[in-house]
Amino acid sequence: MKVIEIKKHGGPEVLYVGNRPIPKPKENEVLIKVKAAGVNRPDILQREGGYPPPKDASDVLGLEISGIVVELGKKTKKIKVGDKVCALVSGGGYAEYCIAPSTQCIPIPNNLSFEEASVIPETFFTVWFNLFIRSKIKKGKKILIHGGSSGIGTTAIQFAKYFGLEVFTTTRSDIKVKKCKKIGANYAINAKKNDFEIFIKKKTKNTGVDFILDIVGGNYVQKNINILKRNGTLINIGWLTGSVVNVNLLMIMLKRLLITGSTLRIGSLEEKEKIAKDLKRNIWPLIKKNKIKPILCKTFPLSKVKNAHIYIEKGLHFGKIALTI
């Protein structure tokens, strides 16, 4: 089968199309003929050498896929050959065939294409886990979502809006500000032009927000602490501008803040199974009714994977990028 290989850690130029044997599923796994694979920031980090795969995971890039089940492990239940599914995987998505735990496969709704379905798992699993399981966001609260135009951002905006929160978001252009508002943000801030701390203090009359989902890090961290309400929660799941920062820890104590972070890839199978069940129960009906949807920006054929990575690195996307296979 064709797979995307890495010559050595580096820029997009290190990616190339190679060949490997088709893998065999273990007892509770399935083999999927991949139709499309989502492209995510962690793929770029792994390509650069900053995000190595877990020991038991494929070293091939790709954390989310969609396709058709072609082979079952001996103990696999509730899935049959021929099923159209999207799946969260720990690696191996940039390939013609991919192994997935059966518990992390979810049927593709009839109103979605393979390409749209392929960009669901990584972001939907991540956002659901961090907002609803770890942070327990609640209706009527205020949330700030940094990176509103990203895959995480576009998903979090929709989830938070549907479940009754007032949504603030930051992005990096006026065009993306408009797009963020269109998918549900009450307020969108062009962080290149405006100081989001000043903006939010003004809009909330200095009361701040209850939750912040941050994929940016760097100098955003202290500003986040400044605008969180007492007993607020800061959820760090990315550090695009740096993970080593100077902050006033006294503020965290005085405001009784909760700061949390996570990475989905190293989570247990049981943890991911619970998230899959939650999504199927709470989000899948909304997808079927077109009330929540994956935001697919652009697709690239597998052979043009370099272009896909460059597109994301330049920040040209709004939502997600998929590889077609």
Could you count the other beta carbons within 10 Å of the beta carbon of residue 164? 11
Q: How far apart, in whole angstroms, are the C-alpha atoms of residue 297 and residue 278?
A: 26
The fold of the 2-120+265-324 domain, in CATH, is: Quinone Oxidoreductase; Chain A, domain 1 (3.90.180)
Contact 87, 38 (CB under 8 A): no
Contact 89, 63 (CB under 8 A): yes
Mean pLDDT for the stretch of residues 243-258: 95
Contact 303, 324 (CB under 8 A): no
Q: Considering just the CA atoms, what is the radius of gyration of the chain in Å?
A: 20
- The Cα angle at residue 17 between residues 7 and 297, in degrees rounded to 5: 105
User: Nearest Cα to 69, choosing from 58, 59, 78, 57?
Assistant: 78
- The residue extents of the domains of the chain are 2-120+265-324, 124-262
Model confidence band, residue 256 (pLDDT cutoffs 50, 70, 90): very high
The answer to whether the predicted template modeling score (pTM) of the entire model surpasses 0.95 is yes
Mean pLDDT for the stretch of residues 277-289: 99
- Which class is domain 124-262? alpha beta
Mean pLDDT for the stretch of residues 240-246: 92
Residue 177 is predicted with a pLDDT of 99
List Cβ neighbours of 10 (8 Å cut-off, separation of 6 or more): 47, 48, 49
pLDDT digits (tens, 9 = 90+) for 106-160: 999 999 999 999 999 999 999 999 999 999 999 999 999 999 999 999 999 999 9
Contact 213, 143 (CB under 8 A): yes
Could you count the other beta carbons within 10 Å of the beta carbon of residue 28? 15
Residue 237 is predicted with a pLDDT of 96
Distance of CA 149 to the CA centre of its chain: 12
Model confidence band, residue 251 (pLDDT cutoffs 50, 70, 90): very high
311-318 own/partner pairs: CB under 8 Å, 24+ apart = 312/39, 312/41, 312/44, 313/12, 313/44, 315/172, 317/149, 317/150, 318/149, 318/154, 318/176, 318/179
> Of all residues in the chain, what percent carry a pLDDT higher than 70?
100
- The Cα angle at residue 270 between residues 268 and 276, in degrees rounded to 5: 105
pLDDT digits (tens, 9 = 90+) for 173-196: 999 999 999 999 999 999 999 999
Residue 105 is predicted with a pLDDT of 99
Residue 271 is predicted with a pLDDT of 97
Lowest mean pLDDT, pick from 17-21, 117-121, 177-181, 259-263: 259-263
